[in-house]
Amino acid sequence: MLIVESHVDVNTVVDGKDSPMRIFVFTPTVPQYPNARFPGVVLFSEIYQVTGPVARFARQIAGHGYVVAAPSSYHEFTGPEPLAYDVPGTDKGNEWKVAKTLDSYDQDVIKTVDYLLTHPNCNGRIGSTGMCLGGHLALRAGLDTRISAIVSYFATDVHSRTLGPHPANNSPTPPPSSPHTLDNLSRISAEVAMLFGLKDTHVPDAGRDLIRLKLREAGVVNSFHEFAWAQHAFIRDELSKGRYDPVITKVCFEILLELFGRVLKTEVGERDAQPQKVEHVC
């Protein structure tokens, strides 16, 4: 499937401050069918904004029949250009990810979904995905009930409550009326697939175990995948510091296609809220 690439600038307002946000758009096309319609996917980037690897990931998704919208997360601090995969770029990305408020991250979701719902080739069904910071944002995007399928790659700062300048960062217990993603999972109605490497030093064993436990306690329909030899950033095919694993990346993409294809492309109607009865048979 061919792809048309474009961008749109939308205005966000948080705490009375206006900030233009660029959304990079990747639209599949079918020759001679200009009105073809596809599900939408919000793609959140790692701390470096929309880099080459993120754009290639977007094209891969779009090529399977999804309108992909990738917002520039740091629009309050800088332009839409990506940060470099070097020490200064890493330091800036890590600084901004905790300086940006959760309200602002949530506003980005609202504005990006709003845009997709106006896109002439989007059929109104929306999923989210992303890696690293973007993996967290893809999961948090589920707080917007218009998101119905989520594929999160090695989501950082979920288990530690360390995204945004809020109380209880790194606390084992939530603060009162906690805004943190970990403490609001019960608000997610989307089906979720979480993807992690067992060698990920950013999300250690205890952190992954906590996320899995909280998803189950919240009643979120989810699948949880852990790959024995994968490290952090295992899908990044550029400057991954030796961590890129193309075979595991392919397996994970098949997981994404299965979930998005089943939930976003198939007409199944509303989900029955009654617990499924599973027979215990051999």
Query: Helical H runs in 21-170?
Result: 52-62, 87-99, 102-118, 133-140
Catalytic residue of the set 132, 136, 159, 252: 132
Between 133-140 and 102-118, two packed helices, what is the crossing angle to 10 degrees?
A: 70
Catalytic residue of the set 122, 157, 232, 245: 232
Asked if 205 is an active-site residue, the reply is no
Asked if 132 is an active-site residue, the reply is yes
Asked if 114 is an active-site residue, the reply is no
Tokens matching residue 21: 């946000």
What is the residue-wise DSSP string for 167-199? Answer: TTTT-SSPPTT--SGGG-GGG--SEEEEEEETT
Strand 122-131: give its sheet, edge to edge.
2-14, 17-29, 67-71, 38-44, 122-131, 147-153, 191-197, 222-227
Number of H helices, E strands in the chain: 6, 8
3-state secondary structure of 256: helix
Q: DSSP code of 6? A: E
Catalytic residue of the set 136, 200, 245, 252: 200
Q: Annotated catalytic sites, by residue?
A: 132, 200, 232
